Amino acid sequence: MRLRIGGDRLLHVYTWILIAWLVLPIAVMILFGFNDPQGRYNQTWQGFTLKWYGEVFALEALTDALVVSLLVAVATALIAGALGTGIGYALGRWQFRGAGALNLLMFAAIASPELVMGSSLLSLFVSLGAPLGPVSITIAHVMFSVSFVAVVVRARVVTLDRSLEEAAADLGASGWTTFWKVIFPIILPAILSGVMLAFALSIDDFVITNFTAGTTQTFPLWIWGSTRVGLPPQVNVMGTMIFAGGVLLAVLSNVRSRPRRKTA
Amino acid sequence: MTTSPPKSAAHPAIEFVGVRKDYLSHGEAVPAVRSLDLAIGQGEFFSLLGPSGCGKTTTMRMVAGFEEPTAGRVMLDGRDVTGVAPNKRDVNMVFQSYALFPHLTVRQNVAFGLERKKVAKAEITRRVGEMLEIVSLTGMEKRQPREMSGGQQQRVALARALVNHPRALLLDEPLGALDLKLRQQMQIELKRIQREVGITFVYVTHDQGEALTMSDRIAVMNSGLIEQLGSPRDIYERPSTRFVAGFIGTSNLIDGRVSWADQGYAVIDKGSGERVVVPVPGTVPVGRDLEVSVRPEKIDLHRTLPSGVTGSLLSGTVTEVVYHGTSTNYTVATSDGTDLVVFDQNAHDAEDVASRGERVFLTWAPQHSYPIGV
Ligand SMILES: Nc1ncnc2c1ncn2[C@@H]1O[C@H](COP(=O)(O)OP(=O)(O)O)[C@@H](O)[C@H]1O
Ligand SMILES: [Mg+2]
């Protein structure tokens, strides 16, 4: 109880430190997208310019890498979203044989180091003779992100009122109709969170992608390759755009899920 | 309003034939409904009344199809529906939690069942509008459940079930979540709606007042069995078992041995002029143990020994006086050690009220008491 005295002030300071910690690197990234560096290195502030925004897609290899990353991320989000929803719903709804094993497996997929997963995936693809490229990257990304979707969906499903399903059946709905007309719309926000999580995990994944990409360049791989020769400001601009897209999605989903005001 | 479906009056709306239901709990069969033979008539307001855990919900869920009987059959309108899936049964349920679809508007909730039956759009609009009028929710079609009060949600749940014109409407403690005032209001409402639509209502409750107010018939259940089946008046005035007498209202039970019997009456002599006179069917042997039930409001309380008493007369000491506005409730310890509760209408002067510790005399007419289980 003694801690309460002055606790408010302390909480404020703590909150601001935390916010600064989270925001500072992003702020630097955004800021240097407006920098006008003289040499190859975009590391010291040399003047304000908007030209990188005009020339954001000027570097063909970088643009190609970004497109690959976006395509892989979208495919991953969709596939992992669909598969994860199925797994999460099944785990949350029924007790079936193998449910325990599946839970364990999902946890293992979330917890296991990316290095381990990446290298074993590489040897799997090589031994199967599967070509490395966008497809193998997507398979790998789905593999590690499906568990996250499933966990998020399961958490929502277990809190669902079971009588909703009974009410639907009582009113004449088949199991299929009940899922699509009742369950799915209710758990959709959770599914969307899972899908966004999968997208975010995929678009900036480096370690596993590095193992499974072959000669394909993704956005993170291209950046890594360019760090030694100096990063062009376009990278900052693209990073800023991805960040802005993420913020926009977060704001939108926040607005959507806020309960509507009572209309008098 | 003719919203009731054509019914074959030849069959009861719902019939249980030798139904038993065991639940498996840790590999052991636990009986929830032991033995049930019951027919519920067309258009009847039927209540299942009993304490928590007596098997009311299980009974109802076997009608809806959410539980299958371990033995026996469930018939709807003369058709055996044992083993038929819930979505293929022509009954609808009002859930205690309402189970409204949170993502749908009131209109969409109410239309859900009709859409499943592929009823034409115009027809759906008409019937939903008509039903919302019956439950007094006109103008709230576009609201979502979370924007409504508990009482309004209750009405939506009711409309969502009734709009389908089911063979029977099943209500599982539907008013349990409402406050007292709203509950009493909804009891009257429900009765009105049931009259209006003419559909069989099966009403589950542990609230005896609710069951007595609304029902045509009541089945009082206790540990998986029906203890008594009858009209509210039957059940209240003539409880047939000790359990029913104790569960419904406040009952006084007096034990004693038959001293003499005659012409449909038995008398239990309590000594020094005190006695209990009770009507019995036929004759009972002298010396038999008898348990007599008498309702608190049937007993008259006297502060002096009344003369010319032909019925029952007992004396005792007032141990408790509780003032209730319209009535005063006394607890009287009689000379044989039984506590009797007496409700006295507050129609007379305040000086007439007996006080604690006072010696009083209790009388009641023979026809106001009943022997239990005779
Ligand atoms: N799904 C179930 N599994 C095991 N036992 C149950 C289940 N549902 C109810 N029971 C048991 O069956 C008995 C009757 O329950 P229920 O029908 O819900 O009673 P009520 O509705 O009268 O309170 C209770 O003893 C309860 O514990
Ligand atoms: Mg119950």
Q: Please tell me the distance from the alpha carbon of residue B129 to that of residue B139, in angstroms, as a whole number.
A: 9
Name every residue whose Cβ is closer than 8 Å to that of residue A102 and which is 6 or more positions away in sequence: A87, A91
Average of per-residue pLDDT values in chain B: 90
CATH no. of A60-231: 1.10.3720.10
**Is residue B8 in a domain?**
no
In this predicted structure, the answer to whether residue A34 has a pLDDT above a threshold of 80 is yes
Q: Are B269 and B314 within one domain? A: yes
Q: How many domains, in total, are found in chain B?
A: 2
- Ligand 1 atom closest to Cα of residue B52: 23
User: Residue B49 corresponds to which tokens in the numbers above?
Assistant: 């009344």
pLDDT in the model for residue B309: 84
Mean pLDDT of B295-300: 91
The total of other beta-carbon atoms located within 10 Å of residue B272's CB is: 8
Ligand 2 center to residue A39 CA distance, Å? Answer: 78
Shortest-distance Cα residue to atom 1 of ligand 1 = B23
In this predicted structure, the answer to whether residue B352 has a pLDDT above a threshold of 80 is no
Q: Are B222 and B261 within one domain? A: no
Q: Among A65-69, A229-233, B312-316, B358-362, where is mean pLDDT lowest?
A: A229-233
Ligand 1 center to residue A94 CA distance, Å? Answer: 20
CATH of the domain at B331: 2.40.50.140
A260 touches chain B (CB under 8 A): yes
Q: Please tell me the distance from the alpha carbon of residue A225 to that of residue A206, in angstroms, as a whole number.
A: 11
Q: Are B212 and B297 within one domain? A: no
Identify the closest residue of chain A to B148 by CA–CA distance.
A262
Our CA-based measurement puts residue B329 at a distance from the nearest CA of chain A, in whole angstroms, of 43
Our CA-based measurement puts residue A160 at a distance from the nearest CA of chain B, in whole angstroms, of 11
**Is residue B54 in a domain?**
yes
Shortest-distance Cα residue to atom 11 of ligand 1 = B32
The total of other beta-carbon atoms located within 10 Å of residue B296's CB is: 18
In this predicted structure, the answer to whether residue B350 has a pLDDT above a threshold of 70 is no
Ligand 1 center to residue B58 CA distance, Å? Answer: 6
Torsion of Cα atoms, B58 then B64 then B69 then B72, to 10°: 120
Mutate to test the pocket of ligand 1, among B23, B33, B60, B227 (most ligand atoms within 8 A of CB): B23
pLDDT in the model for residue B2: 39
pLDDT in the model for residue A259: 54
Q: Who surrounds ion ligand 2 at CB < 5 A?
A: B 57
- How far CA A30 is from CA of A40, A45, A203, A248, in Å, comes to 18, 12, 18, 16
Our CA-based measurement puts residue A178 at a distance from the nearest CA of chain B, in whole angstroms, of 10
Shortest-distance Cα residue to atom 4 of ligand 1 = B23
pLDDT in the model for residue A134: 92
Tens digit of each residue's pLDDT (9 = 90 or more) over A75-99: 999 999 999 999 999 999 888 888 8
Tens digit of each residue's pLDDT (9 = 90 or more) over B138-156: 999 999 999 999 889 999 9
Mean pLDDT of B49-68: 95
- Contact B87/A167, CB-based, under 8 Å? no
Q: Are B293 and B226 within one domain? A: no
Q: Are B160 and B26 within one domain? A: yes
For residue B309, the one-letter residue type is V
Question: Residue B48 — left, alpha, or beta (φ > 0 → left; ψ -120 to 50 → alpha)?
Answer: beta
End-to-end CA distance of chain B: 46
Q: Are B242 and B137 within one domain? A: yes
H-state helical runs in B103-231: 106-116, 121-134, 150-162, 180-197, 208-214
Q: Are B195 and B241 within one domain? A: yes
pLDDT in the model for residue A231: 87
Residues B254, B342: contact at Cβ < 8 Å?
no
- Contact A171/B85, CB-based, under 8 Å? no
pLDDT in the model for residue B351: 61
Chain B residues inside the 8 Å CB shell of A161: 97, 99
Of the spans A248-257, B57-66, B240-249, B325-334, which averages the highest pLDDT? B57-66
Our CA-based measurement puts residue B87 at a distance from the nearest CA of chain A, in whole angstroms, of 4
- How far CA B203 is from CA of A133, B88, B117, B160, in Å, comes to 65, 21, 25, 17
**Nearest-CB residue to A186 (from B103, B113, B146):** B103
Q: Please tell me the distance from the alpha carbon of residue B202 to that of residue B217, in angstroms, as a whole number.
A: 10
Tens digit of each residue's pLDDT (9 = 90 or more) over B61-115: 999 999 999 999 999 999 999 999 999 999 999 998 899 999 999 999 999 999 9
- Coil/strand/helix, residue B187: helix
pLDDT in the model for residue A43: 82
- How far CA A225 is from CA of A68, A119, A140, in Å, comes to 16, 20, 21
Residues whose beta carbon lies within 6 Å of some atom of ligand 1: B 23, 25, 30, 32, 50, 52-58
Strand pairing report for B14-25 and B28-40: antiparallel
**Is residue B5 in a domain?**
no
pLDDT in the model for residue B6: 47
| ipTM exceeding cut-off 0.85 for this assembly | no
**Residue of A163, A164, A170 to mutate, interface with B, max B Cβ within 10 Å:** A170
Mean pLDDT of A132-146: 93
Identify the closest residue of chain B to A187 by CA–CA distance.
B103
- Coil/strand/helix, residue B188: helix
pLDDT in the model for residue B9: 62
Question: Residues of chain B whose C-beta is under 8 A from some C-beta in A?
Answer: 64-66, 85-88, 91-93, 95, 97, 99-103, 112-113, 116-117, 143-144, 146-147, 160-161, 164
In this predicted structure, the answer to whether residue A65 has a pLDDT above a threshold of 90 is yes
Q: Are B211 and B322 within one domain? A: no
Share of chain A above pLDDT 90, in %: 59
Task: Dump the DSSP string for chain A.
Answer: -GGGTTHHHHHHHHHHHHHHHHHHHHHHHHHTTSB--SSS---S---B--HHHHTTT--HHHHHHHHHHHHHHHHHHHHHHHHHHHHHHHHHH---TTHHHHHHHHHHHHHS-HHHHHHHHHHHHHHHTPPPSHHHHHHHHHHHHHHHHHHHHHHHHHTS-HHHHHHHHHTT--HHHHIIIIIHHHHHHHHHHHHHHHHHHHHT--HHHHHH-TT---HHHHHHHHTTT---HHHHHHHHHHHHHHHHHHHHHHHHHSPPPPP-
In this predicted structure, the answer to whether residue B177 has a pLDDT above a threshold of 80 is no
Mutate to test the pocket of ligand 1, among B19, B57, B68, B172 (most ligand atoms within 8 A of CB): B57
Q: Are B212 and B304 within one domain? A: no
Mean pLDDT of A114-128: 92
In this predicted structure, the answer to whether residue A261 has a pLDDT above a threshold of 60 is no
Q: By residue range, what is the domain housing residue B203?
A: 14-247
Q: Please tell me the distance from the alpha carbon of residue A218 to that of residue A70, in angstroms, as a whole number.
A: 9
Last residue in a domain, options B247, B269, B304? B247
Residue with tokens 């009105």: B192
**Is residue B3 in a domain?**
no
Q: Which helix or strand (DSSP H or E) is residue B237 part of? A: helix B232-237
Ligand 1 center to residue B24 CA distance, Å? Answer: 11
Last residue in a domain, options B247, B274, B308? B247
Per-residue burial over A72-107, b = 16 or more CB atoms within 10 Å of its CB, e = otherwise: bbbbbbebbbebbbebbbbbbbeeeeeeeeebeebe
- Ligand 1 atom closest to Cα of residue B51: 22
Q: Are B241 and B256 within one domain? A: no
Can you give the pTM of this predicted structure? 0.79
Residue B4: pLDDT band (50, 70, 90) is very low
Domain ranges of chain A: 60-231
**Is residue B4 in a domain?**
no
Chain centroid, CA B260 distance in Å: 36
Mean pLDDT of A132-139: 92
Mean pLDDT of B112-119: 95
- Contact B147/A168, CB-based, under 8 Å? no
Mean pLDDT of B270-281: 88
**Residue of A95, A160, A164, A171 to mutate, interface with B, max B Cβ within 10 Å:** A171
A186 touches chain B (CB under 8 A): yes
Shortest-distance Cα residue to atom 3 of ligand 1 = B23
**Residue of B24, B81, B103, B117 to mutate, interface with A, max A Cβ within 10 Å:** B103
Residues A36, A51: contact at Cβ < 8 Å?
yes
In this predicted structure, the answer to whether residue B1 has a pLDDT above a threshold of 50 is no
Q: Are B243 and B343 within one domain? A: no
Residues B211, B51: contact at Cβ < 8 Å?
no
Q: Are B30 and B144 within one domain? A: yes
A184 touches chain B (CB under 8 A): no
**Nearest-CB residue to B116 (from A166, A172, A262):** A172
Tens digit of each residue's pLDDT (9 = 90 or more) over B223-232: 999 999 999 9
